[in-house]
Structures are given as structure tokens and as C-alpha cells.
Amino acid sequence: MSAHGAPQPITARKGGPLRGTADVPGDKSISHRALILGAMAVGESRITGLLEGQDVLDTGRAMRALGAEVVGHGAGSWSVHGVGVGGFREPDSVIDCGNSGTGVRLIMGAVATHPFATTFTGDTSLCSRPMGRVTDPLALFGAQAVGRSKGRLPLTLVGASDPVPVRYATPVPSAQVKSAVLLAGLNAPAETVVIEREATRDHSERMLAGFGARIATEDTPEGRVITLTGQPELRPQDITVPRDPSSAAFPVCAALIVEGSDVLVPNIGLNPTRAGLFETLREMGADLTYENPREEGGEPVADLRARFSPDMKGVPVPPGRAASMIDEYPILAVVAACAEGVTDMPGVAELRVKESDRIDAMAQGLCAAGIDVDEGADWWKVTGRGPNGVPGGATVAARLDHRIAMSFLCLGMASQQPITVDDAGPIATSFPIFQPLMERLGADFGGRDS
Ligand code: S3P
């Protein structure tokens, strides 16, 4: 089992305003997909702006174990020499995906239609997450999962030697499940079809089309129907990874709640399947503007400007928006704590099976910091105490979850008393430069006691 070493506690306390420009790293979802599809193309793909977080590095290592050549050239520039669809070889040892649900689920899909066995594991967080949601549809292709009784890692996936195409309606709103099925469908004959009731992030579909696969998306009364024609020859690509809106969320939200702040976060991907948080913040009354809106590499992009917003009000967040902001609920809860009134977040059962049970992790930490939270199986409500109203003065558990750690450090920047996160180590999975970037803006992590 992997681990990131000794716990690294960090304390955030109220300092001056946050000011300046925040250059956040590349998009994690797109980075995983660039490495995996690069490994399945014939020839060399070049990637710039790749997120060099631990999750993505673990996926790069897995692609090497499956036979692709993956080389880092520094500063986010990488090349991947792919082996072609159907060209992966049996790995010599266990694939350890660390903390990454996206990594393990997408790679399971990619190997499921190859005639060999792959054993997967991860850290204690990943080993507690459900894998049946992926191994069930992969079984329809003819792959067999052997492992722990509850469908958790470690498990071995024996790939189908004679795969059949699949038509699958996803029972949960999950881009990871959708992508696993599509990646498996690449090495199956004829058409693989995925139907999703709620649209989830569509980076796999966009990138598969970019690599030359035949893929069509149609919105029907049944939901969104995605049809992929199997066994294409994928052509290598030059990919520029846009910056991650889920990472941008942290400096943006910190600026909204820290008095006097004014922060510019340039070049942020605003794909509608990812931008739900920013819409919600604007509904709350956030001073958040999109500057210089444009298109880059087929994705809408803008520079975000966030200023301290003392008049924010709690809002009901429509459940239909959940998929487009699923990773942003923890930091939204922090903003909600600093707004007036109740922020109601229904339809979010998926939050309970992320890197941690994010409703429980946030509820416990917020309560310790003096904020009221009500919760049920698939909903929660945060009652805000207004700007400068959060007592703080708590030590909270990050639970091996990068977004929980970053969310509470942002809260500590705005609360009356400091907030200590027991272990900031997991932040390296998605946003390795979080601490220096926030410090350059003016954050005070001076209470660091590691
Ligand atoms: C991701 C999909 C989401 C998200 C995760 C990244 C992806 O997970 O939470 O951080 O890259 O496909 P689910 O598909 O489980 O909702």
C-alpha cells in the first residue's frame, strides 16, 4: 500500500488580504486522459501543461508498466510513445494508483479488453472506495474481477480475451465509470454505447474524438447517449492541458472570504460540465468576473477575477448542477460558512464515496470551527455566520483527502482563530504548489509546526 510519509500539519491564520495572480496547475482529469490515450495511440504524443501531481504521476508509471514510453521533459512538458489500441502488455508487478480514483478506474477500463491479468492497489483511502461500479460494466465485456468480497482494492482484473461490445446505462452520475466503459470499448469490436442520465464531465469524449476515434454524443429523452466505434487506430496528438477549474476554486474562494482581497486566476477551463461552482458563487453574490473569455483547444477558457465579497448569501444549490461541481462542494461549504444564511446542497450522495466521505469530513471540521451543519444520506446544509463570523480555533482531520485539506486551510485564512489541518501531505496529489502559491498571494501559514 502506498503512503505519502509522515503527516504534515499546517496551520492557516488570518493575515492581510490576498492579492496578485494565481497560476494554478493543469487539469487533473485531462492530464490522466492525455497519458492514457497517448499510451493507446500509435506513435508519439506531446503534452504541455500536464499536472505533475502524484495522482497523474502514478498514472504515468502505470502506462510505463503496460508498455508505453512516458518521458517527462520538465515544467509540465511530457512525451508519450503509445503502443496502439490492443497493444498493452501484461505488467510485471502490481499497479499502485496511490490516492487516485480516476487513475485506477480509467486504467481498469483500458486493460479490461486485453487478454491478461492486472492487479491494482492504492493507499488506504483508495482501498476503501467502491470499485464494483467499474468492474460490473467491465464484466459485460468479458473481464473478470477477483478480489476482496466488498469490491474494494486490491483486486485483480483478468481482461477479456474475446471482448464483446457493450451497451451500458450508468446507475451513478460518474465520469469515471463512463470513461472506463469507453476505454474498454476501444479494444472491443463494433459499437460500445454508454447512456448517462445526468451529463458528467466530457473530457474523455472530447479527447477520444481528438485522437481520431469515431464517437458521437446525442441528448435523448433516455439521457445522454455516447456511441464509440471500437478498434480505431488512434493518432498521436499534441495536447495543451488547460488549467484546472477545481484547483482554481481554492484561490478564487479564498479571495471571496478574505477581507480586502483581489485575485486574478488566468486561463481557467470553463467547460460547462465543470463550471457549476462559479455559477453558484455568482448566485450567492460573489464578486467574480470572467475576463477575456475565449476558446482554446476546443474548450471555453477565461481569466477569473475574484474580490472580497462581504454580502454573500446562502442559496439552494440545484441538484441537477451537482455533477458539474462535484469536487467543489467542500470549498463551497467554506464560502457558505462565511455567507449569511443557509446553503442547501441536495442530491450529493456521491460526496460520500470520494477520497473521503466529504460530507462527514466537512461537517466534523466545520462544527469544530463553530459552524452549524445538518446532513442526511444525500444532502447537507451549512448555516453561515457572515464575513468575519467564523470562530475557527480548531484542528481538523484531512482524512487523506486533498480537497478537505485545502478547504480548511482556506477557512483558516478567514476565521477569527487559526485552523490547523492535521496532514497537508495529500495536497500533493492534485495541487503540489498550493502552499507557495497561496503564500505569494498573502496567505499566512506561519503556524506550520511540522
Ligand atoms: C473525475 C470524475 C469525478 C471527480 C474526480 C475526477 C474524472 O469522479 O470527482 O475528481 O476525471 O473523471 P466521479 O466520476 O466518481 O464522479
Q: Which atom of ligand 1 is nearest to the CA of 326?
A: 9
In-domain check, residue 131: yes
Which single residue is written with the C-alpha cell 451543519? 373
Q: Which atom of ligand 1 is nearest to the CA of 246?
A: 10
The C-alpha atoms of residue 23 and residue 16 are separated, in whole angstroms, by 20
Tell me the CA–centroid distance for residue 130 and ligand 1, in Å.
Answer: 13
Domain coverage including residue 139: 28-228
Q: What is the mean pLDDT of residues 272-301?
A: 93
**Same domain? 299 vs 361:** yes
In-domain check, residue 333: yes
pLDDT value for 449: 45
Tell me the CA–centroid distance for residue 176 and ligand 1, in Å.
Answer: 5
pLDDT value for 450: 39
**Tens digits of residue pLDDT in 316-369:** 999 999 999 999 999 999 999 999 999 999 999 999 999 999 999 999 999 999
The CA radius of gyration of the chain, in Å to the nearest whole number, is 21
Q: Which atom of ligand 1 is nearest to the CA of 32?
A: 11
Per the residue annotation, which of 327, 357, 360, 374 is the catalytic one?
Answer: 327
**Same domain? 155 vs 254:** no
Tell me the CA–centroid distance for residue 199 and ligand 1, in Å.
Answer: 12
Least confident span in 291-300, 416-425, 433-442: 291-300
Nearest CA to ligand 1 atom 16: 174
Tell me the CA–centroid distance for residue 201 and ligand 1, in Å.
Answer: 8
pLDDT value for 415: 98
**Same domain? 20 vs 60:** no
Tell me the CA–centroid distance for residue 137 and ligand 1, in Å.
Answer: 17
Per-residue confidence band for 447, with pLDDT thresholds at 50, 70 and 90: low
Q: Tell me if 79 is assigned to a ligand binding site.
A: no
> Ligand 1 test: best mutation among 326, 355, 431, most atoms within 8 Å of CB?
326
The per-residue b/e assignment along 210-242, b for 16 or more CB within 10 angstroms, e otherwise, is bbebebebeeeeebbbbbbbbbbebebbebbbb
Q: Tell me if 105 is assigned to a ligand binding site.
A: no
In-domain check, residue 192: yes
**Same domain? 209 vs 269:** no
Q: Tell me if 282 is assigned to a ligand binding site.
A: no
Q: Is 238 a catalytic residue?
A: no
In-domain check, residue 115: yes
Residues touching ligand 1 (Cβ under 6 Å) are: 29, 102, 174-176, 179, 201, 326-327, 350
Q: Tell me if 129 is assigned to a ligand binding site.
A: yes
The secondary element (H helix, E strand) that includes residue 45 is strand 42-48
Give the domain-ending residue among 176, 205, 228: 228
**Same domain? 327 vs 395:** yes
Q: Indicate if the pLDDT at residue 80 is higher than 70.
A: yes
**Tens digits of residue pLDDT in 121-168:** 999 999 999 999 999 999 999 999 999 878 999 999 999 999 999 999
Q: Tell me if 101 is assigned to a ligand binding site.
A: yes
**Same domain? 253 vs 141:** no
In-domain check, residue 4: no
- For residue 167, report the phi and psi dihedrals to the nearest 5 degrees: -115, 120
Domain count, the chain: 2
**Same domain? 123 vs 175:** yes
Q: Which atom of ligand 1 is nearest to the CA of 173?
A: 16
Nearest CA to ligand 1 atom 9: 327
Sequential DSSP letters for 68-93: -EEEE-STT-EEEEEE-TT-----SS
**Tens digits of residue pLDDT in 200-210:** 999 999 999 99
**Same domain? 19 vs 33:** no
Residues 6 or more apart whose Cβ sits within 8 Å of residue 182 = 109, 192, 194, 204, 205, 208, 215, 226, 228
**Same domain? 250 vs 223:** no
Tell me the CA–centroid distance for residue 86 and ligand 1, in Å.
Answer: 25
In-domain check, residue 237: no
In-domain check, residue 117: yes
Give the domain-ending residue among 228, 259, 276: 228
Q: Which atom of ligand 1 is nearest to the CA of 354?
A: 9
Q: Indicate if the pLDDT at residue 295 is higher than 50.
A: yes
Give the domain-ending residue among 205, 228, 251: 228
For residue 171, give the CATH number of its domain: 3.65.10.10
Nearest CA to ligand 1 atom 11: 29
**Same domain? 221 vs 259:** no
**Same domain? 308 vs 436:** yes
**Same domain? 150 vs 204:** yes
pLDDT value for 79: 98
Q: Tell me if 403 is assigned to a ligand binding site.
A: yes
In-domain check, residue 247: yes
